[in-house]
Structure 1
Amino acid sequence: MGEVDPVFVQEQEHRPKLSIIEAKGIPEIDLSPIFHHDVPNPSAIDALVKEIGTACKEWGFFQVTNHGVPLSLRQRLEEASRLFFAQSLEEKKKVARDEINPTGYYDTEHTKNVRDWKEVFDFLAKDPTLVPLNSDEHDDRVIQWCNPSPQYPSHFRAIIEEYIEEMEKLAFKLLELIALSLGVEAKRFEEFFKDQTSFIRFNHYPPCPSPHLALGVGRHKDAGALTILAQDDVGGLEVKRKTDQEWVPVKPTRDAYIINVCDIIQVWSNDAYESVEHRATVNTEKERFSIPFFFNPGHDAEIKPLEELIHKQNPSKYRPYKWGKFFVHRLHSNFKKQEAENLQIYHYKLP
């Protein structure tokens, strides 16, 4: 069996274990009380809010079923994604990202300074999307990012746009449930997403000759508000369990979505909920596909703990930061090795 290029090799302590932990895994939550009833049932919704709150507190991750996203649309999108990645590298590079516009295709992403064993295609939810030109807090210039238009498969762009609409609907519903679980008004978070910087990503993890040395995506936390992940039946996502810091594999549940609470919700909740480390493993036999939707606020949103959750016994734990500056800084560090550590929310933690 061949070995992988050293750029993909993880430090010893971060390499995946070959023995799989038997674990019940992250909670599975049925969203039918909000999607499949003409007349809302308050007690069912209250129970759902409690369930979501517990999952956010204990895991930072959960799966949702009966989520209202048409299965046929998801299947069409997954098929289009496979067709796109099956093209030659030359074809895929016709929609490659560049220094100005970090959307489109690339295969050299780094996580924690180690190259990931994958290729991706990124597509913005809003075209164009306004972002800061750079992460300098004294520079107020902005730039527009635009989506590439892949020629193949011919209907790819139209399916992506239709799917993004469904993802936004689901994301707003989930945010309402999370807001209620924190004891704040259901629509509390809506104002932050007027000019959202959300995007969808298509991941392709080819078979790897040394899955004990490399990772599809190294350990990381997501910087935005929520991530909604569609994964195929191959599996590979692992979540760090808070109780014992062990890596727990997330067994694929057919047609479900995996939701993770990201850094912004950790800050908004003033640490009531925590953004949790996760990673993706690879294997020697099967390729894997996954499609995360990263739900992010507008570039000028100021991120800080919600005033309703701050009081004498629970003072604010973070100083405010501008989302766009944070986002641009994080994105630029994904493409090449950095000398300094990547920007994290704990850099804004108050003493």
Structure 2
Amino acid sequence: MASSPTSILLCPPIDIKKDTNAGGVVFDSFLLRKQTKIPSEFIWPPSERPSTLKELNVPVVDLEGFFQGDEASTLRAAELIRTTCSSHGFFQVTNHGVDASLTQDAFDCMDEFFRLPLSCKLQAKRKPGSLWGYAGAHSDRFSSKLPWKETLSFGYLESGPEHTVVDYFTSILGKDFERMGLVYQKYCKAMKDLSLAIMEILAISLGVDRSFYREFFEDSSSIMRCNYYPPCQEPELALGTGPHCDPTSLTVLKQDQVGGLEVFVDGGWQSVRPIRDALVINIGDTFMIANS
């Protein structure tokens, strides 16, 4: 990772779009998808391109009993989570309490944002040193092996101002994006509630007071990240997201039905099959270190 943002060439000279603020060029997925070849900055070495044949055994944990106060069901869920976290830390949850219509609204808003002209998306451009904002291919941080994606990230703090997310969207994109901010405000709240419930089950699985982690993370902040993977002419040469570890305590991921998520287990990459209406849970580095 570069210590400071660097400007790089992301498309052939004929398609260069200058970033007048940073003095460099920016990733324009609309232009890139019109070309027959992807730029060299997006090509990953063959040794780093996963060739997935095996599917990871990711348990599906039904949370209905937990939310209904069924102790036997809760203990079964805790044991299942304990077992998988001892192996790789990934599981999927169903009956998680996040309304399907809210999730669809969040996906629709994501599509709406990434369909905007580049000039509009750049109004939310991530500033150097910040975790919030729009980024194309993480070109503000890397100069090679770039991910073929666009992202929009923003924070959520339940104990902060009542409309933190709404204010973020309206302040950078204008009043017309108030509804988008409201959708994501509700979505972040639902995800925070689910995360605290999972923390309670994790406490049970570790044999500590069931409220220990829920109370510890009650005032925690979280980051919402929307990832968009544009069509790619040479997908066999590129990666949507490069290999990484999640440094947070807990990641909640909503996959679409296209798939693509892979986990490095037992010396190789294994795929995680999307399950409709399920959410993927990943125990992050911070939580693992705290309990090691």
1:257 to partner: Cα distance: 0.2
Partner of 2:198: 174
1:93 to partner: Cα distance: 0.8
Partner of 2:168: 147
Gaps of 5+ in 2: 1-34, 161-166
Deviations 1:123-179 (A, max 9, x none): 1112898xxxxxxxxxxxxxxxx8343345551000000111110110001011111
Counterpart Cα distance in 2 of 1:112 and 1:179 = 41
- Residues 208, 52 of structure 1: alpha-carbon distance in 2 compared, 3 angstrom cutoff: same
Q: Is the 8 A contact 1:227 1:261 kept in 2?
A: yes
Counterpart Cα distance in 1 of 2:142 and 2:217 = 27
Counterpart Cα distance in 2 of 1:180 and 1:69 = 22
State the TM-score, normalizing by the size of structure 2. 0.78
Which residue of 26, 44, 48 maps to 1:14?
Answer: 48
1:101 to partner: Cα distance: 4.1
- Residues 111, 269 of structure 1: alpha-carbon distance in 2 compared, 3 angstrom cutoff: farther
Q: Is the 8 A contact 2:41 2:143 kept in 1?
A: no
Q: Is the 8 A contact 2:149 2:227 kept in 1?
A: yes
* Count of aligned positions: 247
Q: Is the 8 A contact 1:80 1:153 kept in 2?
A: no
Counterpart Cα distance in 1 of 2:168 and 2:131 = 9
- Residues 101, 148 of structure 1: alpha-carbon distance in 2 compared, 3 angstrom cutoff: farther
Q: Report which of the two has the higher share of strand.
A: 1
Gaps of 5+ in 1: 130-145, 271-351
Counterpart Cα distance in 1 of 2:48 and 2:212 = 38
1:56 aligns with 2:56: no
| Coordinate RMSD, CA, aligned | 2.3
Q: Is the 8 A contact 2:147 2:238 kept in 1?
A: yes
State the TM-score, normalizing by the size of structure 1. 0.65
Alignment of 1:211-222 (within 5 A): 211-222=235-246
Q: What SS does structure 1 have at the residue aligned with 2:196?
A: helix
Partner of 1:73: 102
Deviations 1:21-56 (A, max 9, x none): 143531111111112x2xx22222111110110111
Alignment of 1:156-305 (within 5 A): 156-193=180-217, 195-241=219-265, 244-270=266-292
1:99 to partner: Cα distance: 2.2
Q: Is the 8 A contact 1:16 1:213 kept in 2?
A: no
- Residues 194, 171 of structure 1: alpha-carbon distance in 2 compared, 3 angstrom cutoff: closer
Q: What SS does structure 2 have at the residue aligned with 1:125?
A: strand
1:119 aligns with 2:150: yes
1:193 to partner: Cα distance: 2.9
- Residues 113, 181 of structure 1: alpha-carbon distance in 2 compared, 3 angstrom cutoff: farther
Q: Report which of the two has the higher share of helix.
A: 2
